[in-house]
């Protein structure tokens, strides 16, 4: 199982890999300074996105576990299923 973090900023969701402690500290620092840009990295490769964080902006964090990619899909037990086609 992999841990994925969801950062919701002003109603928009950003999905991030673990760990996020450094990113949380940067966001808090920007807010305490009265506002500032923080680069939010992507879940998979790429430059990320710069977000302007400011006091009063709604920001929430959530964390959940997801299954590993490449898992077997659920298939019917009987390969000879008749769908009346």
Question: Does the residue 60 lie in any domain?
Answer: yes
Quote the CA–CA distance of 39 and 27 in Å, as a whole number: 9
The reply to whether 81 falls in a domain is no
In a domain, 18, yes or no: yes
User: In which domain, by residue range, is 56 found?
Assistant: 2-65
Inside any domain, residue 79: no
Identify which has the larger pLDDT, 35 or 67.
35
Count of alpha carbons within 13 angstroms of residue 70, beta-carbon side: 1
Q: Is residue 82 part of a domain?
A: no
- Please check whether residue 30 lies inside any domain of the structure: yes
Averaged pLDDT of the chain: 83
How many domains does one find in the chain? 1
pLDDT at 60 over 90: yes
pTM exceeds 0.75, yes or no: no
- pLDDT, tens only, 36-59: 999 998 878 888 999 999 999 999
Residue 38 host element (H or E): strand 36-40
């Amino acid at each position: 199982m992999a841990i994925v973090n969801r950062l919701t900023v002003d109603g928009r969701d950003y999905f991030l890999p673990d760990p996020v402690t450094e990113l949380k500290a940067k966001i808090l620092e920007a807010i305490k300074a009265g506002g500032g840009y923080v680069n939010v990295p992507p879940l998979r490769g790429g430059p990320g996105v710069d977000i302007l964080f400011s006091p009063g902006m709604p920001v929430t964090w959530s964390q959940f576990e997801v299954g590993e990619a490449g898992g077997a899909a659920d298939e019917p037990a009987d390969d000879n299923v008749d769908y009346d086609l």
